[in-house]
Structure 1
Amino acid sequence: MLKKIFSVSMAGVLALSLAACSSGGNTTASEAKYPERGITIVAPSGAGGGWDLTARSIAKTMNATKLIEEPITVENKPGGGGAVYMAEYATKEAENDYMMLVKSPPILINNNKAEGNSPYGYKDTTPLAQLTRDYGAIVVREDSKFQTLTDVLEAIKADPTAVTLAGGSAPGSMDHLVGILPAFEYGIDPKAVKYVSYDGGGEAVAALLGDNADVIATDASTIAEYVKSGDVRVLAVSSPERLEGELSEVPTFMEEGIDAEFTIWRGIFGPKNMSDNAKEYWSTKLEEMSKTEEWKQELEQNGWQSEYKDAAGFEEYLQTQEKVIVELLTALDMQK
């Protein structure tokens, strides 16, 4: 059933008029010169996770290629799986054209889950572009007794309190959903799974390596370096087909008998009250960036797959994804 849900997220988009994503502002003489000073891209997490790496890759590419001549810096604003800074960003009036935000499915999940939900979502921003897609990974230490995903699921089924699953996001958020999706499909009550949240993927990995967690759910791309160093093993990935590179030998959920997929997209947003001029400027520059060799190198280095959608296409996709997330949360009894 959940495979069908996620298939919809990959294939379907809703019709939407361009007027729906217009910020509706008027361009002033000052805005016509945009940008006139440095720009900040915020990663609403600690260092080392997918948001942080995406923000830094955008800044690095824009600065290196001089597509944007003003300097771009990255700031980390951790807290609540991205929800803490989202509340500030959604209501921020100042700096409205000079503060961008990198996000992924939690912008939808946090706005729709029952426990710890955020009143702010993508409609409180200006979606600018989707840039990449990634997948979830179920990971254990290299010396773990668990050799397969089925081993983990059988252990949880026998005694849910005996296995600690961790992730870099709050309960009901992305890592949690990636982790409990196989359990749900395996016939385990997802509410019975012992889940511990950390603030970002880097902290979740540290918990795993420090023996404070038995298993973690995280991004496939960010775990590859730990696989290469021999610290961890990946038991399965949530992609429809096997991935390339360091994780090429890792089976998919489907191969492990779990009839489900989970796609992790990443994109960049501006504030809700962003001027038309700034939005058009960023839309043009992001499309140009997506075609550069420098950006392609960033994708390869981070293990990301390119999936560019412009502002209109991204907003359409977000509408479809929100329906998918609501359906998944409802199935897991976590929808608000």
Structure 2
Amino acid sequence: MRRNEFLKSIAALAAAGALPSAARAAPVLKMMIPANPGGGWDTTGRAFGRSLVDSKAFDSVQYDNKGGAAGIIGLAQFVNAAKGDPHAAMMMGAVMLGGIITGKPPVQLSQCTPIARLTSEYNVFVVPAASPFKTMKDVVAQLKKDPGSVKWGGGSRGSTEHIAACMLARGIGVDPKKVNYVAFRGGGEAVAAILGNNVTVGGSGYSEFAEYIEAGKMRPIAVTSQKRLPGIAIPTMKEQGYDVVLGNWRGIYGAPGISAAERDALTQAVIAATKTKSWTEALAKNGWTPALLTGREFDEFVEYEFSSLRAIMYLSGMV
């Protein structure tokens, strides 16, 4: 058999899945992280990528960070470049939904394939260690006096921390449109702004602030959960008299146009990864609440979140 004929026969066998497992290359997952390095999506995506490898679902994971516009820039690239690829995935979550609502982009999340919700996390508000504001009540007093003087820093416009700040303003009788919110492209930029005293209050998931809180460089003043986070002594907005309860969540989507069988295979890989030791350790380390949801339930959850966020953002003067 000539060499070119041999190569053609090997290619045909590989395409048909007829080669022995040792002769087939393990799949490589291409993961789009629609945010800059250092933020919540990046941390979650890379931690989950390690778990996918640990579960033996993939041989390795290639990461592509593409930040900006609440994840919409990364979403657009994913829609255009990954169509039909069963070995491609994208991190997403509540922030992306908010960005789609406010930004009205030319691409939609519905073009991609829902796979799973992974985690739930509430926003923590912090101030720089040297800030004259010691509590959220101090911030509220200043917000009532001069809304523009309180500079809120966090993720993209439409992020859960942005929505929470507007909910707070509305609840205390301040026009939400007067909230002075500074959006950053990634968690790293937001952290630098807080540490540099360039914003009055910073908001994000606890995992992004934990090391700075523990080091005494940031002072946590509120969390948007219904009850205090387990083992973390941060007062809730509600217990301080402000009806602001808002959760963040993160999930994973597959590429546009993959088959039902390919969606199921990726879903099963995700489920297996959530059972690994590395994922359990990542949840504990970052203060993430496991919130696995797949199939039709996840589809319906995303639809509900779109309608719920749209209503909250409208009432907060953001839409």
TM-score by length of 1: 0.84
2:180 is matched with which residue? 194
2:154 is matched with which residue? 167
- Name stretches of at least 5 consecutive residues in structure 1 with no aligned partner: 1-28
Q: Give the one of 46, 56, 77 matched to 2:46.
A: 56
Cα drift, residue 258 of structure 1 = 1.0
Please give the alpha-carbon distance, in whole angstroms, between the structure 2 residues aligned to 1:155 and 1:79: 30
Cα drift, residue 172 of structure 1 = 2.8
1:123 is matched with which residue? 110
What do residues 42-68 of structure 1 show as CA deviations (whole Å, max 9, x unaligned)? Answer: 2111111110011111111121232x1
Give the partner amino acid of 2:262.
Answer: A
What do residues 144-172 of structure 1 show as CA deviations (whole Å, max 9, x unaligned)? Answer: 11111111111011012222111121x23
- Name stretches of at least 5 consecutive residues in structure 2 with no aligned partner: 1-13, 19-23
Q: Give the one of 125, 129, 134 matched to 1:147.
A: 134
**RCO comparison, higher one (Cα < 8 Å, 6+):** 1
Give the partner amino acid of 2:248.
Answer: I
Cα drift, residue 291 of structure 1 = 2.3
- Closer, same or farther: CA 251–94 of 1 in aligned 2, 3 Å: same
Aligned length: 301
| Other structure's SS at 2:81 match | coil
Q: Give the one of 194, 208, 221 matched to 1:235.
A: 221
| Other structure's SS at 2:100 match | coil
Please give the alpha-carbon distance, in whole angstroms, between the structure 1 residues aligned to 2:204 and 2:84: 32
Q: Give the one of 37, 59, 84 matched to 1:70.
A: 59
Give the partner amino acid of 1:144.
Answer: S
Does residue 135 of structure 1 match 2:125? Answer: no
Cα drift, residue 91 of structure 1 = 3.2
- Closer, same or farther: CA 184–220 of 1 in aligned 2, 3 Å: farther
What do residues 263-289 of structure 1 show as CA deviations (whole Å, max 9, x unaligned)? Answer: 111100012212323211111111122
Give the partner amino acid of 2:73.
Answer: V
- Closer, same or farther: CA 30–94 of 1 in aligned 2, 3 Å: farther
- Closer, same or farther: CA 317–31 of 1 in aligned 2, 3 Å: farther
RMSD: 2.0
Query: Superposition pairs for residues 295-314 of structure 1, below 5 Å?
Result: 295-314=279-298
Asked whether the 8 Å contact 1:111–1:119 carries over to 2, the reply is: no
- Closer, same or farther: CA 255–121 of 1 in aligned 2, 3 Å: farther
2:68 is matched with which residue? 79
Give the partner amino acid of 1:139.
Answer: V
Please give the alpha-carbon distance, in whole angstroms, between the structure 1 residues aligned to 2:229 and 2:81: 39
1:334 is matched with which residue? 318
2:8 is matched with which residue? none
- Closer, same or farther: CA 32–303 of 1 in aligned 2, 3 Å: farther
Query: Superposition pairs for residues 1-336 of structure 1, below 5 Å?
Result: 30=15, 37-66=27-56, 68-92=57-81, 94=83, 96-113=85-102, 116-169=103-156, 171-245=157-231, 248-335=232-319
What do residues 301-331 of structure 1 show as CA deviations (whole Å, max 9, x unaligned)? Answer: 1110111101321111111111101111110
- Closer, same or farther: CA 30–152 of 1 in aligned 2, 3 Å: farther
TM-score by length of 2: 0.88
Please give the alpha-carbon distance, in whole angstroms, between the structure 1 residues aligned to 2:26 and 2:272: 20
When Rg is computed on C-alpha atoms for both structures, the one with the higher figure is 2
Cα drift, residue 32 of structure 1 = 6.6
Cα drift, residue 175 of structure 1 = 2.9
Please give the alpha-carbon distance, in whole angstroms, between the structure 1 residues aligned to 2:83 and 2:305: 30
Give the partner amino acid of 2:314.
Answer: T
